[in-house]
Amino acid sequence: MNTIRTAMLLAAMTALFMGVGYLIGGSGGMMIAFLIAAGMNLFSYWNADKMVLRMHHAVEVDERNAPEYYGIVRDLAARAGLPMPKVYLIDNPQPNAFATGRNPQNAAVAATTGLLDRLSYEEVAAVMAHELAHVQNRDTLTMTITATLAGAISMLGNFAFFFGGNRDNNNPLGIVGVLVAMIVAPFAAMLVQMAISRTREYSADRRGAEICGNPLWLAAALDKIARSAERIHNPDAERNPATAHLFIINPLSGERMDNLFSTHPNTENRIAALQDMARQGVGGGGGGQGMSAPHEPQQPQAGGPWENAARPEAEAKPAKPRPGPWGRNPTGPKGPWS
């Protein structure tokens, strides 16, 4: 089904790309758009994951410079029976995460520094389990290809603004065709994101809860991420809105316009489904069967596992500076991206 879904999505995206090309330059523009789309489909299959990681300035880390974070992913991958993915970190205060890659053998997971700062060890584990569920369900190929092609369609719409509707009558609809292309382009990413069923998030939530062992950890994480995303700006996501559907919670500050065009299910509904799982005892629910943590709490904690990082500065207790979970000393600028 994932193969069929990917093929249908690629066909639909190619058709949309050709349609915009036709509106800009007639049959000649359509053929040029077809050739570009065919090349991009092939390129995206092999390189879309690298492009998305680059868009968000993700830096690869390992157990030397991010021991706790890397260890969480390693243990979860082993629990899920997955190959160890590449692990990336994004220097961004908004807590969020995504997975990418064309298959489990070539997968990568990425989390923001805000996620590590603001969530507990158990909540971070639950979020990364959700992302590994996407890898296991083979959602990542579809998600990364749509992000790349949606961005390309938006660029084509911008091209129409500057070069469409010229006087050689290549465009059969004239200025009307150009205007249609310009109107379609801003909504292209939204249409593509809608083409991917939002039920994949529920599926990844469920499987992620099973992998980490406690649905309530993921429920608590979703609540924290959703509340933080409303007030913490993510400039890279705003510049690349076609990648919004990759994240566990929509990172766009304007994405409150809501259900019809949302790329994610309602967070409250996701939390309710996870709480229902816990009541049914699915995934180890009570906390005793979940993934072990260094300090073994029974419930998700208010702060992150790195002491005062999640607290407001005024409330933080004085603490001896030490390297953060990604290898960065909190009193200095050094980090894996510096």
Residue 12 is part of which domain span? 2-210
Mean pLDDT of all residues in the chain? 76
Is residue 247 situated within a structural domain? no
Other beta carbons within 10 Å of 40: 21
Antiparallel, parallel or unpaired: β 97-101 and 86-90: unpaired
pLDDT digits (tens, 9 = 90+) for 262-305: 668 889 999 999 999 999 987 764 444 566 554 343 344 444 44
Q: Is residue 57 part of a domain?
A: yes
pLDDT value, residue 69? 96
Which of these is catalytic: 60, 63, 68, 131? Answer: 131
C-alpha 150/C-alpha 185 separation (Å) is: 9
Within a domain: 147 = yes
134 annotated as belonging to a binding site for a ligand: yes
- pLDDT given for residue 171 in this prediction: 56
Q: Which two tokens stand for residue 135?
A: 């890898």
Residue bearing tokens 């959602």: 139
Nearest-angstrom CA–CA distance, 43 and 226: 33
**Residue 21 domain-assigned (yes or no):** yes
pLDDT at residue 38 tops 60: yes
Looking up residue 7, the CATH number of its domain turns out to be: 3.30.2010.10
pLDDT at 334: 37
| Confidence (pLDDT) at 160 | 65
pTM over 0.85: no
Asked whether residue 268 is marked as a ligand-binding residue, the answer is no
Q: Residue 272 domain-assigned?
A: no
- CA–CA separation, 112 vs 237, rounded Å? 12
148, part of any domain? yes
Tell me if 126 is assigned to some domain: yes
Q: Is residue 132 part of a domain?
A: yes
Tokens of 106: 């070539």
Residue 63 falls in the annotated catalytic set: no
pLDDT digits (tens, 9 = 90+) for 191-250: 665 666 666 889 899 999 999 999 999 999 999 999 999 899 999 988 888 788 889 998
Number of domains in the chain: 1
| Residue 230, marked binder | no
